[in-house]
Amino acid sequence: MPLTRKAYRAAILHSIADPAEVGIEASYEYFEDGLLVVEDGRISALGHASELLAKLPAQVQIEHYPDALITPGFIDTHIHLPQTGMVGAYGEQLLDWLNTYTFPCESQFADQAHADKVADIFIKELLRNGTTTALVFGSVHPQSVNAFFAAAEKLDLRMIAGKVMMDRNAPDYLTDTAKSSYQDSKALIERWHGKGRLHYAVTPRFAPTSTPEQLTLAGQLLTEYPDLYMQTHISENLQEIEWVKALFPERKGYLDVYDHYQLLGERSVFAHGVHLCDDECARLAQTGSAVAFCPTSNLFLGSGLFNLPMAEKHKLNVGLGTDIGAGTSFSLLNTLNEAYKVMQLQGARLSPFKSLYLATLGGARALRLEDKIGTLHPGTDADFVVLDYHATPLLSYRLKQANDIAETLFVLMTLGDDRTVLQTYAAGQPVHQR
């Protein structure tokens, strides 16, 4: 239908492979004066403006951004909706932070009106920051997931979420039971999974807050519905790891707990993995599981430094996560700024193109959605962002000194944040305008 066709002219950049596998130069495509053509919510063409404009029917409307960069929408592989209101909770590390701040904050989601209000704020915040897909933790209450999916469906977003399962080691007001968590998850799956661009993720919070019975039922859901996701946390904090060893003495280690309950697999995403050992990385890679690297959270909670080179050595899929509310920014640009510093502290380097990969195609691969999102290849969903070179006076001035797209990209990631995102498009529709 020619009427739904629209074209966007700007500098255009996307990742097409992991720089760790193909080298930096082969990992991206860049069109200094590019054209992106969108038809019925999908990308129908991408190339040099000079070549594509000649073929474009005269009636197709063209938006021209002479001072902006179009990239795929960002993909956040780990974030908590019910922690939107508690970013910046002072002073604690993981386990005390959960008890002091997180559990009381999440308890408010028993109230559907509260859940609806926060879901609306949360989705606006994702889109303001250029995030078009996220893998989202709800609270223990199905209300949180219903609120989120209902809001995401209205905008035809590609989103993944699940209700937290937690039946021990948390306050009574916030626990379910193995059986109720199974039933509630199942009802949410039946209602939302596969509806529009929505997908469900079975969500045991982390090993310490689930009984063996609950972990067994989480695994059972994955067998009953083979295309479901699974999300949880792993090896974030040293005290947490000791606690898991005490709770599951019969298992070899933290990952082995999840392995035993059959929670590893191609659609399983484990948040953090800061203290994973070599064998655990190998096992994650072998099962096709992915890890969400959450630098702002790992620094904020003092959890440690994620070892990306070790993950690369094992060809482990890694995505980027904000981990709001332990993370301190919804912006994946800002998250990449911190990721760079995490690598610096380990004597390693994070190239701008690896960063772009992590925030887009790497996230899509972690979620097994690379045929739909994460690049600007024709045929994929038209989820993209327009990044403004003049978003702030400093960015504008600094970019004038940049000599090539590598430098431009790195500066965008170092100085960029929500202000950098001029527009966000999902399925070809504008869903945020700064």
- 297 near ligand GUN (CB under 6 A): yes
Which DSSP string corresponds to 77-143? Answer: EEEEGGGGGGSS--S--HHHHIIIIIHHHHHGGGSHHHHHHHHHHHHHHHHHTTEEEEEEE--SSHH
Residue 16 in tokens: 């097409």
Nearer to ligand GUN, 31 or 206 (CB): 206
For the CB of residue 226, give the shortest distance to ligand GUN in the complex, in Å. Answer: 26
Q: Which does 365 bind (CB under 5 to 8 A by kind): ligand GUN, Zn ion, none?
A: none
Q: Considering only 94-102, 114-122, 149-157, 426-434, which stretch makes contact with ligand GUN by CB under 6 A? A: 94-102
- 102 near ligand GUN (CB under 6 A): yes
* 170, 209 contact by CB (below 8 A): yes
Q: How many whole angstroms separate alpha carbon 303 and alpha carbon 6?
A: 46
**Interaction residues for ligand GUN, span 199-218 (CB under 6 A):** 205-206
Selected binder of Zn ion within 76, 323, 381, 388 (CB under 5 A):
323
Phi, psi at 186, each rounded to 5°: -60, -40
- 76 near Zn ion (CB under 5 A): no
- 106 near Zn ion (CB under 5 A): no
Look at the chain and count its residues.
434
Q: Which does 254 bind (CB under 5 to 8 A by kind): Zn ion, ligand GUN, none?
A: none
- 337 near ligand GUN (CB under 6 A): no
C-alpha distances in angstroms, 6 versus 60, 372, 429?
6, 19, 10
Q: How many whole angstroms separate alpha carbon 50 and alpha carbon 54?
A: 7
Nearer to ligand GUN, 236 or 418 (CB): 236
- 323 near ligand GUN (CB under 6 A): yes
In which element (H, E) is residue 26 found?
none
Selected binder of ligand GUN within 9, 14, 80, 275 (CB under 6 A):
80
The mark string for 260-299 relative to Zn ion (x by CB under 5 A, - otherwise) is -----------x----------------------------
Q: How many whole angstroms separate alpha carbon 351 and alpha carbon 130?
A: 21
Q: Which residues bind Zn ion (CB under 5 A)?
A: 271, 323
